[in-house]
Structure 1
Amino acid sequence: MAGKDTPTALGLDFGTTNTVVALADGNGGSDLVEFSAPGGGTDAVFRSALCFWEDEKGWNGIAHEAGPWAIEEYLQSSLDSRFVQSFKSVAASPLFERALIFNRPFRFEDLGRLFLQKLVKHAGGRLDQRPRRVIVGRPVEYAGARPDAALARQRYDLMLDAFGVELHYVYEPLGAAHSYATRLTSSATILVADFGGGTTDFSIVSVAAAGAAQRCVPLASAGVGIAGDRFDQRIVSQLILPLLGKGGSYRSFGKLLEIPGGYFADFADWSRLAMMRNRRTLDELRRLQRDAVDPAPIGRMIALIEHEQGFPLYDAVGRLKRELSSAPHAEFRFSSEGVEIAAEVRRDAFEQWIAADLRRIEAAMDQALARAALPADRIDRVFLTGGSSLIPAIRAIFTRRFGEERIASGGELTSIAHGLALIGEADNLDQWVV
């Protein structure tokens, strides 16, 4: 039973890269939940990651940690653990049934429940009392090939079945729109662009002047399964995969064949790379190495997988991407298990690598405008949120289309959770949920 201090609503932004939680304060605002961090201190941003290791006292013989604690555990014992992140990206995939971790099967909802258990544990008691409503952000379009939104909803429901009494789903950019509306005093038509780890989503919202009984009215939304993780994949494809055998050949029954691209597609996708450390995949790669014209590159791939080097590799990729957001060039450095990379990368080269992705993102924005039956000049304000909104090539799309004076940003990692909690207190909840 809810006590007098129980929040009325909780906003949950379960992201591909990070998770943020906000609690409605009952006075038209919301407070971010702070989570404990290794080494002391707290942070409102909780990494969407899990680390597993064998322990007879753990669930199904396996112990686990989540968030920054998962990273800490992995760095201390990488060879004896399994590190998983970006698992949200398979939520809508009918091809994903379960992941084998230490030969135990984990469904998506299993991973999600274990993640939330630790998230609650590290919240310092602020999530011990369940609110009346839990408002969960979801992308407009899920990531992956042929995503199944109904399947994702089913998996989310199972993941969250113990997290709240009333469970509602709202498009993530609508949460950000509600948050941004608190900054405005006059009426406006706003376009919100949310750049996450797995998806880019747009919503157009009509905002009434401050004091109106109903401030926000959603007009249209659109999205595409392309965002920060895809940009990481482009960097990996350009800088890493050529050193791991991509484009190479192997001999089979007297024929010279190209090494199958599926291994490289998995390696370039963090959610799948984490699952490549299994006996079947490694045995297949060793057979390829034996028959390869040049076996050394495949040997490097095997070494990176066996020695759990996915996290440091993608950490270096993310660091490069962030540095290119503030400088015209940056140096990429990675050294481990026979793979040595030191490359100067120019921002314009990176922008060429992601050019096709940027066109699809802009097309999704045009789709949102078309659904709202509004030309670009009818948009009064543009709010950019999410980590990839800081990439200059992303911002340039909106500067070109709307002008710098109409663009606002801020709260790149927290605005969605803040707005979702505010929506949770709305009387007219039906117009927001999907």
Structure 2
Amino acid sequence: MSAHPARACGIDFGTSNSTVGWLRPGAATLLALEGDKATLPSAVFFNADEETTHFGRDALAEYLEGYEGRLMRALKSLLGSSLMDGSTEVGGRALRFRDLLASFIGQLKTRAESQAGRPFEQAVFGRPVHFVDDNEVADRRAQDTLEAIARQVGFSEVSFQFEPIGAALHYEAGLDREELVLIADIGGGTADFSLVRLSPERAGRTDRRDDLLGNAGLHVGGTDFDRALSLECVMPLLGYRGLMKNGVEIPSNLFFQLATWHTINFAYTRQAFADFQHIYRDAAARRELDRLARLIGQREGHWLALQVEQAKIDLSSGVTTLLQLDRLEAGLTHGISREDFSAATRNLVERVAATVGSLLDQAGVAREKVDTLYFTGGASGVPQLRARIAAELPQAHCVEGDLFGSIGAGLAMEAARRYG
């Protein structure tokens, strides 16, 4: 490490959580962004009662305290989507999604500079291997949009590094021998993999292209696990897969909106309410739809999504969890088991495993040649997902990195290398 602080920072703008890393002697790499916490949840709450804007844990706390307003999460998922050029209503006015992202990334910059006691004009941003699956034009547009937003908030020089490579650089700093490593970075929005040769000697090289044997990724992450768990185990309590009087299933669009973070507010529009009233008149599942009516009427969609997210977390460490759903119906509880969670997410897990297998095949690397499987990203803690990936590499030693910090720390190293 240089005897002087780096000029630039590394920014991991994540779907669920974000970090900023800055390499300087004798100090932690990650900067505190909210109190003493190095992570800032990627959430914004517009408080309509007090006409204030809140970020991170503060945003979630304001929402849960019951203030009127708009909670936005999974902001990164907007990049590369058709929503990016649109807007949403906040406090009776239109707010462009592009400006929403700028407000959050501007906060990352402001908070990092406050902690560092100096401005940052250069930054290396992490990016998923694919912002958008199987669409190079849309993928490039997503990166260009993020770069334009970064410049809008005050960065004069912006470059990018794949997020799993950032994690690889962080892991490599602690190695004492060469390893062939599969980096598994599974965050809130994407699952990304890099197969890379790492060693103390290789760490000093400027050009690492020969060490990178392959990258692969897909748009599956923690929010997808939340959605699958919600649809399979919670939304049936609200009428999902219930029946109309004529025997056909209740239309599912509203349930999918409520199970997906960045579309929850669409369930509160006049059109959505008119559609719901039409369904209610002809539905057989009245008790469940009464709960749904209460959820929509009280705008409790984000509250329910938080309960589902917590259930996912609980089931990653325990075998059962009990949801307290009294806001939907007095005394309502609902138990979910890890087996339920595994069944709900089986297709997602298999898609991720297939991506790992494809990467190894394309790189021409035999499974038994991989020394280490390195996990980072919050969703890599989902047990059925971790076990399935590990099954692809039966000889590899599994290592758990800093699930929320290794990418930001590695990007800080890359920023110091690129900008001094």
Residues 1:118 and 1:275: Cα distance change in structure 2 (over 3 Å): farther
Distance 1:157 1:211 in 2: 29
Structure 1 residues 13, 274: CA separation in 2 closer, same or farther (over 3 Å shift)? farther
Tell which deviates more after alignment, 409-418 or 180-189: 180-189
Q: CA deviation at 1:260?
A: 2.2
Instruction: Report how many residues are paired.
Output: 412
Q: CA separation of 1:283/1:346 partners in 2, compared to 1, >3 Å: closer, same or farther?
A: same
* Distance in structure 1 (CA, Å) of the matches to 2:273 and 2:55: 26
Q: Find the aligned partners of 1:399 and 1:300 in 2 and give their Cα distance.
A: 41
Q: Is the 8 A contact 2:370 2:395 kept in 1?
A: no
Q: What is the correspondence of 1:307-346 to structure 2 with a 5 Å cutoff?
A: 307-338=298-329, 341-346=332-337
Give the letter aligned to residue 82 of structure 1: R
Counterparts of 2:418 and 2:110 in 1: how far apart (Å)? 31
Aligned mates of 1:141, 1:132 — CA distance in 2: 26
Would you say 1:350 and 2:341 are equivalent positions?
yes
Deviation at 1:249, TM superposition (A): 4.4
CA contact (8 A) 1:236 1:268 kept: yes
Question: Of residues 56, 61, 70 in structure 2, which corresponds to 1:82?
Answer: 70
Between the aligned partners of 2:134 and 2:335, the Cα distance in structure 1 is: 33
TM-score of the aligned structures, taking structure 1 as reference length: 0.86
Compute the displacement of 1:198 (Å).
1.1
Q: Matched residue of 1:348: which SS?
A: helix
Where structure 2 has 5 or more consecutive residues not aligned to the other structure, the ranges are none
**Cα distance in 2 for residues equivalent to 1:427 and 1:365:** 30
Is the Cα–Cα contact under 8 Å of residues 190 and 379 in structure 1 kept in the other structure?
yes
Instruction: Specify which of 160, 163, 166 is matched with residue 157 of structure 2.
Output: 166
1:149 pairs, out of 105, 130, 139, with 139
Task: Confirm or deny: 8 A CA contact 2:195 2:214 kept in the other structure.
Answer: yes
Flag the 1:143–1:289 CA change in 2: closer, same or farther, 3 A.
farther
Shift in Å, 1:117:
3.4
The structure-2 alpha-carbon separation of the partners of 1:201 and 1:416, relative to structure 1 and needing over 3 Å to count, comes to same
Quote the offset at 1:73 in angstroms.
Answer: 1.9
Distance 1:352 1:258, change over 3 A: closer
1:48-71 CA deviation, whole Å, 9 max, x = no partner? 001013379xxxxx5311111111
- Aligned: 1:234 with 2:222: no
The answer on whether the counterparts of 2:221 and 2:379 sit within 8 Å (CA) in structure 1 is yes
Q: 322-331 or 198-207, which moves further after superposition?
A: 322-331
In structure 1, C-alpha distance between the alignment counterparts of 2:384 and 2:378, rounded to whole Å: 13
C-alpha separation between the residues in 1 aligned to 2:319 and 2:415? 42
Mean CA deviation greater in 195-204 or 218-227: 218-227
User: Structure 2-normalised TM-score?
Assistant: 0.88
Spell out, residue by residue over 1:77-114, the C-alpha distance to the aligned partner (whole angstroms, 9 max, x if none): 33x11111112112111255222233422233211111
Matched, 1:137 2:126: yes
Q: CA deviation at 1:116?
A: 2.6
**Quick one: structure 1 residues 274 and 354, their matched pair in 2 at CA, closer, same or farther if it must change by over 3 Å?**
same
Q: Distance in 1 between matches of 2:411 and 2:242?
A: 48
Per-residue CA distance 1:187-229 (angstroms, 9 max, x = gap):
2221100110111110111213347631853221101111211
Pairs within 5 Å for 1:16-415: 16-25=15-24, 31-37=29-35, 42-54=36-48, 63-78=52-67, 80-96=68-84, 97-123=86-112, 125-126=114-115, 129-142=118-131, 148-161=138-151, 162-210=153-201, 213-214=204-205, 216=208, 217-250=211-244, 258-338=249-329, 341-403=332-394, 406-415=397-406
Distance 1:339 1:176 in 2: 46
Partners of 1:122 and 1:274 lie apart in 2 by 28
Distance 1:105 1:371, change over 3 A: farther
Deviation at 1:303, TM superposition (A): 2.2
Q: In the aligned structure 1, how far is the partner of 2:132 from the partner of 2:15?
A: 10
Quickly say closer, same or farther: Cα 1:53–1:144, change in 2 above 3 A.
Answer: farther
Alpha carbons of 1:95 and 1:71: their partners in 2 closer, same or farther (altered >3 Å)? Answer: closer
Alpha carbons 1:204, 1:221 under 8 Å: kept? yes
Q: Please, what is the CA RMSD of the aligned residues?
A: 2.9
**Which AA in structure 1 matches 2:29?**
D
Distance (Å, rounded) in 2 between the aligned partners of 1:151 and 1:238: 33
What SS does the aligned partner of 1:131 have?
A: coil
Structure 1 residue 341: deviation in Å?
4.4
Comparing both structures, which one devotes a greater share of its residues to strand? 1
CA 1:339–1:389 in 2, change beyond 3 Å: closer, same or farther?
Answer: farther
Q: Which moved more, 1:394-403 or 1:408-417?
A: 394-403
CA–CA separation in structure 2 for the residues paired with 1:69 and 1:182 = 34
How far apart are 1:47 and its partner, in Å? 0.6
Q: Distance in 2 between matches of 1:112 and 1:373?
A: 39
Identity over aligned pairs, percent: 26
Q: Which has the higher helix share?
A: 2
1:416 paired with 2:403, answer no
